[in-house]
Amino acid sequence: MTAALRYFAISILLLYAWFVASDSLLNVGLSDVAVSLRLNLVRPVSWLIVALCLIDAWGLGKRFAWAWWLGVVGALVQLARMGWWVAHHHSLSQLPGTDVWLAAAMLLSFLVVLLVPAVRRACAR
């Protein structure tokens, strides 16, 4: 059961990394303006998120304790950034799009799976 939950957390994390990367790549692929290509490829935060997700997925697969902490802190930071952005750009009369809710759901489910005590005990190397 512990391994299944750990691999489920890794799957959610890799899905989130794909979601972040594909958002940038989709914006590049769907636009026919060269300026859009330059602007989307110069978003270091997106590439940093993808790199950290891949490193964290590898660390969780190897059951390292630092990977568990990186996952918890990373998910909390991303949720805080997302909440801050939603609070400043949207109101209850105009809610954000489904992509924001999907990303938040992935981060929350990843965090919930990581906080299961069996997963925490498994990542103790």
- Residue 109's contacts (CB-CB under 8 Å, 6 or more residues apart) are 12
Six-digit token string for 66: 């630092």
In angstroms, the CA 86 to CA 72 distance is 21
pTM, entire model: 0.79
pLDDT given at position 18: 86
- The band of 81, judged by pLDDT with boundaries at 50, 70 and 90, is confident
pLDDT given at position 27: 53
Q: What is the pLDDT of residues 49-70, one digit of tens each?
A: 889 999 999 999 999 999 999 9
Six-digit token string for 110: 């990843």
Q: What is the pLDDT of residues 34-51, one digit of tens each?
A: 444 444 455 788 888 889
Backbone angles phi, psi at 64, to 5 degrees: -85, 140
118: part of which helix (H) or strand (E)? helix 117-122
CB 99 within 8 A of CB 120: no
C-alpha torsion 38→43→49→54, nearest 10: 20
Q: What is the pLDDT of residues 98-115, one digit of tens each?
A: 777 888 899 999 999 999
CB 47 within 8 A of CB 58: no
